[in-house]
């Protein structure tokens, strides 16, 4: 039987586990506060049906004092669902935020609606609607129509939760429109198990391309476990564009972890050159930890020197504008270089000259420098003159002149091996950084005979200023 709102003192009641074994700690407020993890939830579940309002207040204050991380997520909502049934006024006094109003909307919706209307504070009504929407979406929709000021993201997500069992498309559309941070895994996965065709049709209609990729990705993750044959048919049927590119690539990466041969076959069977390239890059990235040599073999089959002639798609940039995005190999090259730096540099050294070659050499060499700067610089010292040595040297000079303990003398020596154009640029950057650390040493370095006269003249005027 319920205790009175005032709450009597409790007799100790042992906690009995499903096995029938009694726990030696009594089921009291103190016992719950002393417990942790699953045991705390078990104790709370047995405590709540017999707890009085005074018990609940003591427990809530104790949890708040502990700064218990589960108060807002699970313990608090369960506690307030009991408290608001016994003593709404007392619960409100202790929690003036959303939890009490949500719980009141659950246990006594009409009283909570009347109180929210009387309060004139919109957020209270929004929390009540969130609670009502989870179990009675029709009532929640009527309340929002009558009180548009209660139409918040939280209220709509509560309504969507109530709609999902009977009208998942309406519920999912409501969530996607209401929130900028949608958990598509939670939103789509249950629906997809029940009605994959409807979930797929809905995901394809999402106007935001990033959201569309996330929602379709959830479906593909499920099918990878339950119906892998469906993945190829679904992706092949998608129109060419950014969505198809992202999903093809991510599926290649997934396969590379569990079945490298299938990942390579998937990439090679892609219907366009652009998709083949991107899927291959992702397959190599997914394979690199378990088989760096296999990842390198995939890269050898691609023309990494250029992205010219590959399709690019308009994507939304951070500024909201449209930008053309093409297939960059830099991320995959960096991952492979982390695992097999010297072999990656040897592969890149064999590339033909192209617009991407310089950047990829610098990416791989920079990765190697961070991992083992001594081995990287020794390798570079043995390279013949040419574009690969030039690109890697630019990266080395930049690396040596930055950081907590820069080596400006070594950076100066390497900079003086560069071609004239790169030498001028790197020397100016190097000497300016050097001056910020040690002005006298940087000024003396200007007199090095290898420093070009025009660089010396410009920097001499700059260094002479206070």
Report pLDDT for 325. Answer: 52
Report pLDDT for 189. Answer: 85
Report pLDDT for 321. Answer: 55
Report pLDDT for 3. Answer: 37
pTM for this structure?
A: 0.63
Q: How far is 40 from 27, CA to CA, in rounded Å?
A: 10
Residue 32 structure tokens: 């719950």
Q: What angle do CA 89, 95, 99 make, to 5 degrees?
A: 100
Q: How far is 282 from 75, CA to CA, in rounded Å?
A: 43
Q: What is the largest CA-CA distance in the chain?
A: 96
pLDDT along the chain (466 residues), means of 10: 38 46 61 89 90 92 87 88 93 85 95 93 95 95 95 91 90 84 84 90 89 92 90 90 86 89 91 86 90 93 73 51 60 94 94 83 93 92 92 93 89 92 91 91 87 84 74
Report pLDDT for 326. Answer: 52
Of 425, 349, 354, residue with least CA distance to 388 = 349
Output helix, strand, coil percentages for the chain, rounded to the nearest 5: 70, 5, 25
CA 333, chain centre distance (Å)? 22
| Residue 431: half-sphere exposure toward Cβ, Cα within 13 Å | 28
The full DSSP string for 263-276 is HHHHHHT-SSHHHH
Say if CB 435 and CB 463 are below 8 A apart.
yes
């Amino acid at each position: 039987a319920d205790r009175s709102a005032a709450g009597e003192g409790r007799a100790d009641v042992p906690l009995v586990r499903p096995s029938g074994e009694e726990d030696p700690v009594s089921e009291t407020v103190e016992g719950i506060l002393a417990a942790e993890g699953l045991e705390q939830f078990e104790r709370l579940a047995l405590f709540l049906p017999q707890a009085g309002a005074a018990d609940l207040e003591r427990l809530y204050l104790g949890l708040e004092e502990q700064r218990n991380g589960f108060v807002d997520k699970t313990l608090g909502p369960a506690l307030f669902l009991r408290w608001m049934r016994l003593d709404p006024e007392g619960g409100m006094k202790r929690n003036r935020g959303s939890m009490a109003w949500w719980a009141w909307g659950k246990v006594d919706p009409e009283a909570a609606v009347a109180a929210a209307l009387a309060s004139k504070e919109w957020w209270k009504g929004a929390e009540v609607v969130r609670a009502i929407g989870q179990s009675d979406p029709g009532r929640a929709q009527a309340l929002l129509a009558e009180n548009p000021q209660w139409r918040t993201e939280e209220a709509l997500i509560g309504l969507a939760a109530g709609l999902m069992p009977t009208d998942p498309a309406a519920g999912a559309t409501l969530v996607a429109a209401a929130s900028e941070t949608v958990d598509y895994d939670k939103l789509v996965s249950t629906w997809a198990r029940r009605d994959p065709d409807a979930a797929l049709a809905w995901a394809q209609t999402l106007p935001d391309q990033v959201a569309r990729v996330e929602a379709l990705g959830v479906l593909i993750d499920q099918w990878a476990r339950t119906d892998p044959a469906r993945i190829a048919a679904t992706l092949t049927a998608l129109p060419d564009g950014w969505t198809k590119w992202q999903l093809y690539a991510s599926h290649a990466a997934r396969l590379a972890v569990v079945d490298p041969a299938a990942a390579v076959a998937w990439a090679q069977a892609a219907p366009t050159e652009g998709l083949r390239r991107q899927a291959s890059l992702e397959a190599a990235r997914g394979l690199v930890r378990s088989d760096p040599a296999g990842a390198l073999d995939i890269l050898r089959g691609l023309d990494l020197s250029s992205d010219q002639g590959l399709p690019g798609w308009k994507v939304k940039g951070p500024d909201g504008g449209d930008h053309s995005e093409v297939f960059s190999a830099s991320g995959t090259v960096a991952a492979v270089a982390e695992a097999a730096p010297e072999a990656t540099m040897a592969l890149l050294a064999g590339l033909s000259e192209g617009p991407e070659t310089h950047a990829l050499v610098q990416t791989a060499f920079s990765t190697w420098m961070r991992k083992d700067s001594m081995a990287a610089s020794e390798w570079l010292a043995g390279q013949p003159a040419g574009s690969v040595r030039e690109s890697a040297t630019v990266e080395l000079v930049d690396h040596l002149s930055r950081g907590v303990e820069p080596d400006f003398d070594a950076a100066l020596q390497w900079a003086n091996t560069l071609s004239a154009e790169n030498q001028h640029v790197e020397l100016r950057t190097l000497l300016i950084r050097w001056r910020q650390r040690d002005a006298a040493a940087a000024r003396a370095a200007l007199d090095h005979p290898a420093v070009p006269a025009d660089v010396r003249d410009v920097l001499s005027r700059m260094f002479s200023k206070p």
